[in-house]
Structure 1
Amino acid sequence: MMDQKLENILNLALETPEEEREQTESLNVGYSAEIRSWELIVKYHGSLDRLREQNIVVEELIAGYAILTVPEALVDTVSDTPEIEYVEKPKRFYYGQTFPAGTSCFPPVTMRTPFLNGRGVLLAVLDSGIIWDQEVFRKADGSTRIRYLWDQTVLRDRTLPQDRTVPEKTGNVGYGKMPDGFAFGTEYTAEEINAALQMPALDRYRRIPSRDLSGHGTAVAGIAAGKSAGGLYTGAAPEAELIVVKLGLPGNSGGAEEGFPRTTEILRGVTYALRKAGQLNMPLVINLSFGNSYGSHDGSSLLERFLDNASEIGKTVICVGSGNEGAARGHFAGNITRDSRVELAVGNYEKSLNIQLWKNYSDVFQIRLQSPGGEEAELTTNIQGGKYTLRLEQTRILVYLGEPLPYAVAQEIYLEMIPVTGGYIDAGIWTIRLEPVMTVTGQYYLYLPAGNGRGDSTGFYRSTPQMTLTVPSTAAKVITVGAYDPVYDTYADFSGRGYADSTRTIGVTAAGLTKPDLVAPGVNIQAPDVYGGFLPVTGTSFATPIVSGAAALLMEWGIVQGNDPFLYGEKIKAYLRKGARPLRGEREYPNDRVGYGRLCVADSLPQTGTTE
């Protein structure tokens, strides 16, 4: 009978003779034949002194975890101890598990001819910042690979010289100055970072007080271009030089409101990276691992258009994550031919909620909104000024009727729900009824805020996973990156989905445009954390830097090594699409889930295809 306190594989190992365990890859891990003891991980409560009294070695960790070294004959004693809640044996971790791009055909071009590593290419990470003194961001001689770091949240005292001089009398004054052309934040050069690296740790951060408080940017940068001593951890382009922009509002060390950047900071960051690449005359890859759900998702917003333009400046590639909204229940799409009902579950404790309805301006709908208690109101669509307020139960709804814009042909009807009293909007089932009055296409698209902007219980019933790409991954000329699970070689259901050979009739999305372009590993990817260790991370945020690193390798081969001086922009996208490999369960390519397939760098590089 299996011991319920022991994990299955440990039960199996204990019931397997040693000579048989030794023939397996995992069962004998944690067993020492010399002292005939097991190393075990336990979750416990209270004191483990009674185990110490039996010559069991106890190493207490934190939060009720410990490592025990247990003579084989005493494993049952450990299990019988009331303070022990659960027991596991160690597992072996291979160095390949800390190589983020190991499943994307990197080794054939990095570990043998043409030995690509990103040298001579700039890789810009616009994110939550970076732990800039970590080993993974240094060269072999200990100097930094960060060419420039612009922290938008660090205020530079305007009374100090702006020529990078640091008065000796003010030891707490940091290096840096406001970057040229921008009126806030502080820029640090590689020289200043290298000087700070020579100081004790506390003094470093007095000189360069830029920190990544969330760890997101550090993880992204590490996956894209990290490398530890001895190569135990290797990112996708481990010798690329980094430009890091910590996005956020000046004076807010956590970034912008609630730690998230605004569109304006992103625009400035992209501009900054492009200018630096131009000054250095180096090819540039820009990594954007963020997005939101506001917009018609058709490339018509100014941010999307800006990125399309930016991708045509210099020798540039922009990679953007498709977002994690694929299974978040934040989108519903339909084609109205008769009375349609869309049900929306609103969870408890929602302080506010907005709903976007995007439609063809030529279509006329009658729209009714019903509250959980059955109160109903018609959304009048001919109000002068396009804005009015109505109330259902204890929720006030601000209604805005949009018009086509100079850069967008779609019509938006926007609802903002706020509480009248009590601090929260009414929880329960809200119903949106749509009736056709005069339709040409009948298509409509409903969006809620992104998942991190609402409670887990709030979402559409019968939601539509297609067209859940977050903005700005919807820009036409960026490389849009989704995620797949490399263990199962299957699409990750959270990954934002798009369209292929679209028949969409609103907005500027052209028929035939495919999004995402391809997918990369995005589940349990090892990445550097803010404490100098490594943690598994999941999301399209972490699939994107793998593709950014792949783009850097292609640009190194083409531009830096002189094999193809025009290998940038849409050409990089075309090569990556062509080299993409199929995934399990996907029958037609391109499709709205994985685009052209999963990343394979070796097959994307001309004349270096592999049958790996």
Structure 2
Amino acid sequence: MFGSADVEKNFINMQQGISGSSSGQNIAPAQNQEYGDFILRNWETISEADMKRMNAVFQKVNEMFGILYIPLEQVGVLEINSYTYSSIPKCYSPMDINAMDAGGISQSYRQPYLKLQGEGVAVAVIDSGIDYTHPVFREGDRSRIAYLWDQTIMESGNEAVPYGKVFVREEIEQAIKSENPYETVPSRDENGHGTALAGLAAGNVVPSENFSGAAPGATLIIVKLKKAKTYLKEFYQIPPLAEVYQEDDIMLGVSYAVRMAKKMGMPVSVCLGLGSSQGAHIGDSELSRYLDYINEDANVSVSVAAGNEGIAQHHFTAELSEEQETVELKIGEQEGGFYTEFWGNPPDDYRISVQSPAGEILDISTSIGSVTQKLSFIFTATQVLVNYVKMERSTGKQLIYFRFLHPASGIWKIRVQKEKGPGNRFHMWLPVQGLISQDTYFLQSNPYSTVTAPGDSVRSITATAYQYRDASLFFQAGRGFTPDGQVTPDLAAPGVELTVPLNGQQNFGKATGSSLSAAITCGAAALLLEWAIVRGNLPYASGSAVKFALQKGAVREERMNYPNPEWGFGRLSVIDSIPE
């Protein structure tokens, strides 16, 4: 739809907010369920005349990325082939299921020549929001939150944000002082995930709870993400009540945090505790590419979660050296529907057939083009929709995208054959835990290459989780490396049974997951930014420089080879990461 193969080309000189008409509604297109969202790279696409014809709206993210909002009535049937895989926003889930000493963080507080606490640094958490009334985010009536962008509030935005509403420190402090804070600042963290991450990254020291955030002196920037639109959840067969967020909203949230930190004259450490198993797992998602882009700049570091997919049995891989490989997929009785992705390495083309539990076999056409193929089985009510992409634009790999509708339970078999020539490796991934029945999995799964996106971002800091009490790896932790051999995760940080601030209760509880490790790593990165930029030791340090410093200072065991797919370069240690 965006032109021949969506080739990258110069478009009109677009500025933020150029659009067709707004269809007479006050709801911003990003919040409007009647609009579809498409991520564009290098502002490639169509002419301004075509935008007006489609009643489309464009939103700039930065110099490299933008978002095009098109009325769904103009979009038609959403197909991977028609719009390109990378342009359709992916959906990201929270990666969840006294650690500061273990991370060498409290030592950096106590070291007399350091006393690092994140002063002069911004910590940005892009997640489910924050309980801004919790004591760990304020000192009396003084809030440590400089900006709070709530994407869920139904407003059309202003010059600062394209939709939702921004609350600044003065408004938050006014709310804290009032009898009913939420009349003044009506922003809540419904599930508490963002509150937990913000607390671990930059919460106050609370001696009575033996709690401290990693960077208790940092200034907070919070983005509360709106939930993914209904049409995307339906397209990806995501359960209606699942907590998922759109890739384009996350990108806009990160962009906002970077701009606000720059406005305050502060370096910023960004925390993303979200993940997705969509994509080829080689840093190919638009979010991963965007994070690589901003990590090149001085003053910006991004920490992300490795995910919790290590033992979920959601990854299959094989070297197709024989004539045929059979992938056995068990589908649970309560499974309502799901997607799975096949990624084959070039130069081979692959022939695929699908066998139902009843033994019926249907072939997938390799020459039908961009049309979605519908496999309807006679002996079951299951329909499998298939998009066959011989060369996916971003990766050059072969992508075969399956959507199982009302799948029959039992053992399904996907038979893979090579067209000709030498064999090559292919991978398949199922959705992350929480988006698919726990009884749906590959019978012969592989626990490696299970780090979720954007943990495959080259320049971000990808943190996996370990139990700091006995230095054991979290058993569900996502494992590397990427299929093309990139090292990920970068390091391990505490992430098991951590004390976290609880949402809406002003007390504390326990939580586990790699998103918590990302939050602690984000706070650790803030300490390094304080040492490097605020104190002038390395004034132009980039996110890559912070990442390499943490890799270099990681604690490693003598009898283990590094980097490795479980631990990366070792366990986080801030005190060992600061040059002498």
Residue 433 of structure 1: aligned partner: 415
Residue 471 of structure 1: aligned partner: 453
Residue 95 of structure 2: aligned partner: none
Q: Is the 2:492–2:572 contact (alpha carbons within 8 Å) kept by the matching residues of 1? A: yes
Q: Is the 1:490–1:583 contact (alpha carbons within 8 Å) kept by the matching residues of 2? A: no
What is the 5 A alignment of 1:10-21? Answer: none
Q: Among residues 387, 390, 404, which one is paired with 1:417 in the alignment?
A: 404
* Code of the aligned partner of 1:111: R
CA distance in 1, matches of 2:314, 2:446: 8
CA distance in 1, matches of 2:412, 2:178: 59
Write out per-residue CA displacement over residues 11-69 of structure 1, whole angstroms, 9 at most, x where no aligned residue: xxxxxxxxxxxxxxxxxxxxxxxxxxxxxxxxxxxxxxxxxxxxxxxxxxxxxxxxxxx
Residue 171 of structure 2: aligned partner: 192
CA distance in 2, matches of 1:264, 1:257: 20
Match of 1:353, SS state, is: strand
Match of 2:344, SS state, is: strand
Write out per-residue CA displacement over residues 164-192 of structure 1, whole angstroms, 9 at most, x where no aligned residue: xxxxxxxxxxxxxx453433111000111
Q: Is the 2:325–2:415 contact (alpha carbons within 8 Å) kept by the matching residues of 1? A: yes
Residue 275 of structure 2: aligned partner: 291
Residue 356 of structure 1: aligned partner: 341
Q: Among residues 215, 234, 239, which one is paired with 1:237 in the alignment?
A: 215
Alpha-carbon offset, residue 565 of structure 1: 1.2
Alpha-carbon offset, residue 515 of structure 1: 0.7
Residue 143 of structure 1: aligned partner: 142
Residue 537 of structure 2: aligned partner: 563
Alpha-carbon offset, residue 458 of structure 1: 0.8
Q: Is the 2:298–2:543 contact (alpha carbons within 8 Å) kept by the matching residues of 1? A: no
CA distance in 1, matches of 2:257, 2:471: 34
CA distance in 2, matches of 1:520, 1:555: 18
Match of 2:274, SS state, is: coil
Alpha-carbon offset, residue 100 of structure 1: 3.3
* Code of the aligned partner of 2:537: N
Q: Is the 1:366–1:437 contact (alpha carbons within 8 Å) kept by the matching residues of 2? A: yes
* Code of the aligned partner of 1:541: S
Q: Is the 2:451–2:478 contact (alpha carbons within 8 Å) kept by the matching residues of 1? A: yes
Q: Does 1:403 align with 2:386?
A: no
Residue 104 of structure 2: aligned partner: 105
Match of 2:311, SS state, is: coil
CA distance in 1, matches of 2:143, 2:515: 24
CA distance in 1, matches of 2:372, 2:442: 25
Match of 1:317, SS state, is: strand
Match of 1:438, SS state, is: coil
Match of 1:109, SS state, is: helix
CA distance in 1, matches of 2:393, 2:430: 24
Q: Is the 2:272–2:305 contact (alpha carbons within 8 Å) kept by the matching residues of 1? A: yes
CA distance in 2, matches of 1:463, 1:321: 22
Q: Among residues 551, 566, 575, which one is paired with 1:577 in the alignment?
A: 551
* Code of the aligned partner of 2:122: L
Q: Does 1:384 align with 2:369?
A: yes
Alpha-carbon offset, residue 257 of structure 1: 7.1
* Code of the aligned partner of 2:262: G
Q: Is the 1:399–1:416 contact (alpha carbons within 8 Å) kept by the matching residues of 2? A: yes
CA distance in 2, matches of 1:251, 1:471: 20
Q: Is the 2:137–2:203 contact (alpha carbons within 8 Å) kept by the matching residues of 1? A: yes
Residue 594 of structure 1: aligned partner: 567
Inter-CA distance 571–552: structure 2 relative to 1 (3 Å threshold):
same
Alpha-carbon offset, residue 487 of structure 1: 2.2
Q: Does 1:533 align with 2:507?
A: yes
CA distance in 1, matches of 2:259, 2:101: 33
Residue 324 of structure 1: aligned partner: 308
CA distance in 2, matches of 1:314, 1:566: 5
Q: Is the 2:273–2:516 contact (alpha carbons within 8 Å) kept by the matching residues of 1? A: yes
Residue 198 of structure 2: aligned partner: 221
Q: Is the 1:153–1:251 contact (alpha carbons within 8 Å) kept by the matching residues of 2? A: no
Q: Is the 2:296–2:542 contact (alpha carbons within 8 Å) kept by the matching residues of 1? A: no
Q: Among residues 206, 212, 216, which one is paired with 2:189 in the alignment?
A: 212
Residue 467 of structure 2: aligned partner: 485
Q: Is the 2:206–2:212 contact (alpha carbons within 8 Å) kept by the matching residues of 1? A: no
**What is the percent sequence identity of the aligned residues?**
36
* Code of the aligned partner of 1:188: F
Q: Is the 2:369–2:388 contact (alpha carbons within 8 Å) kept by the matching residues of 1? A: no
Q: Is the 2:228–2:244 contact (alpha carbons within 8 Å) kept by the matching residues of 1? A: no
Residue 604 of structure 1: aligned partner: 577
CA distance in 2, matches of 1:438, 1:278: 54
Residue 524 of structure 2: aligned partner: 550
Alpha-carbon offset, residue 406 of structure 1: 3.8
Structure 2 stretches lacking a partner, 5+ long: 1-97, 234-239
Residue 123 of structure 1: aligned partner: 123
CA distance in 2, matches of 1:373, 1:258: 31
Residue 442 of structure 1: aligned partner: 424
TM-score w.r.t. structure 1 length?
Answer: 0.74
Write out per-residue CA displacement over residues 260-284 of structure 1, whole angstroms, 9 at most, x where no aligned residue: 2111110110110111112112100
Q: Is the 2:283–2:456 contact (alpha carbons within 8 Å) kept by the matching residues of 1? A: yes
Write out per-residue CA displacement over residues 543-562 of structure 1, whole angstroms, 9 at most, x where no aligned residue: 11111111011111111112
What is the 5 A alignment of 1:78-97? Answer: none
Residue 35 of structure 1: aligned partner: none
CA distance in 2, matches of 1:229, 1:106: 15
Match of 2:142, SS state, is: coil
Write out per-residue CA displacement over residues 365-390 of structure 1, whole angstroms, 9 at most, x where no aligned residue: 22221111111112221223352111
Q: Among residues 255, 261, 265, which one is paired with 1:277 in the alignment?
A: 261
Q: Among residues 240, 247, 256, which one is paired with 2:225 in the alignment?
A: 247
Q: Is the 1:360–1:410 contact (alpha carbons within 8 Å) kept by the matching residues of 2? A: yes
CA distance in 2, matches of 1:492, 1:538: 9
Q: Is the 1:270–1:286 contact (alpha carbons within 8 Å) kept by the matching residues of 2? A: yes
Q: Among residues 321, 328, 333, which one is paired with 2:317 in the alignment?
A: 333
Alpha-carbon offset, residue 206 of structure 1: 0.6
CA distance in 2, matches of 1:191, 1:538: 34
Residue 25 of structure 1: aligned partner: none
* Code of the aligned partner of 2:532: G
Residue 90 of structure 2: aligned partner: none
Inter-CA distance 288–347: structure 2 relative to 1 (3 Å threshold):
same
CA distance in 2, matches of 1:329, 1:251: 28
Match of 1:192, SS state, is: helix
* Code of the aligned partner of 1:289: G
Inter-CA distance 345–405: structure 2 relative to 1 (3 Å threshold):
closer
Q: Among residues 476, 482, 503, which one is paired with 1:494 in the alignment?
A: 476
Match of 2:488, SS state, is: coil
CA distance in 2, matches of 1:302, 1:441: 29
Range that drifts further, 563-572 or 225-234: 225-234
Alpha-carbon offset, residue 391 of structure 1: 1.5
Match of 1:195, SS state, is: helix
Inter-CA distance 440–387: structure 2 relative to 1 (3 Å threshold):
farther
Write out per-residue CA displacement over residues 447-472 of structure 1, whole angstroms, 9 at most, x where no aligned residue: 11111101111111121111111111
Alpha-carbon offset, residue 563 of structure 1: 1.8
Range that drifts further, 255-264 or 467-476: 255-264
Match of 1:488, SS state, is: coil
Higher relative contact order (CA 8 A, sep 6+): 2
Residue 9 of structure 1: aligned partner: none
Which has the larger Rg? Answer: 1
CA distance in 2, matches of 1:298, 1:494: 21
